[in-house]
Amino acid sequence: MKLKHYDDLGTARFITFCCYRLQPFLHQPRASELLIKYFNETRNKYGFKLLGYVIMPEHVHLVIFRAEGMKLGLVIREIKSKMAREYFALDMNETSGKNVFWQKRCYDHNCRSPESTKEKIDYCHNNPVKRGLATEPGGYKWSSYNWYQGEKDVPILMDEFEM
């Protein structure tokens, strides 16, 4: 069954996508750097706003506000495919000879209010702590938390989110 994306509701979206068979391919800093490269590239190309994120070892959460006419599934597919192609071209393959980095689907949730959007951003920031990857949200490099704390030397800059 094909999952339906409701692209035209005018709300922020909480998106999750996972590495193939939940393997921790993103534990390598270079893999996370490549992913951020393609977040930025597609954000510039399609004009969506990135409100929050976390890159975990085996999955990613994004909170975005989609640009007018943007098809979420196509944009996520573009991010994933370009990142994986470059990853394998750089011979970073830890997948036992199979050039599969991502699971096929992404899952999304419409944030129906500013409070719901803030809740999903906070979820991103607390995910590494809950998993034991950091003792506090600011101790985990691969999330938007430190940007929200006023730091500008972060892996990726966020777009402003107003409640």
Q: Are 2 and 112 in contact (CB under 8 A)?
A: no
Of 27-36, 91-100, 138-147, the range with the lowest mean pLDDT is: 91-100
Residue with tokens 């921790």: 24
What are the extents of the domains in the chain? 12-148
CATH superfamily of 12-148: Transposase IS200-like (3.30.70.1290)
Strands 59-65 and 49-55: antiparallel
Q: Are 14 and 65 in contact (CB under 8 A)?
A: no
pLDDT at residue 94 in the model: 54
**SS3 helix, strand, coil % of the chain, rounded to 5?**
40, 20, 40
pLDDT at residue 5 in the model: 46
pLDDT at residue 103 in the model: 94
C-alpha closest to that of 13 among 127, 116, 128: 116
Alpha-carbon distances, residue 65 vs 28, 68, 121, 155 (angstroms): 28, 10, 12, 19
Q: Are 131 and 57 in contact (CB under 8 A)?
A: no
User: Residue 3's CB: how many other CB atoms inside 10 A?
Assistant: 9
Torsion (CA) 38, 39, 44, 49 in degrees, nearest 10: 170
pLDDT in tens, 20-73: 999 999 999 999 999 999 999 999 999 999 999 999 999 999 999 988 889 999
**Whether this model's pTM surpasses 0.85:** yes
- Position 135 confidence tier, pLDDT thresholds 50, 70, 90: very high
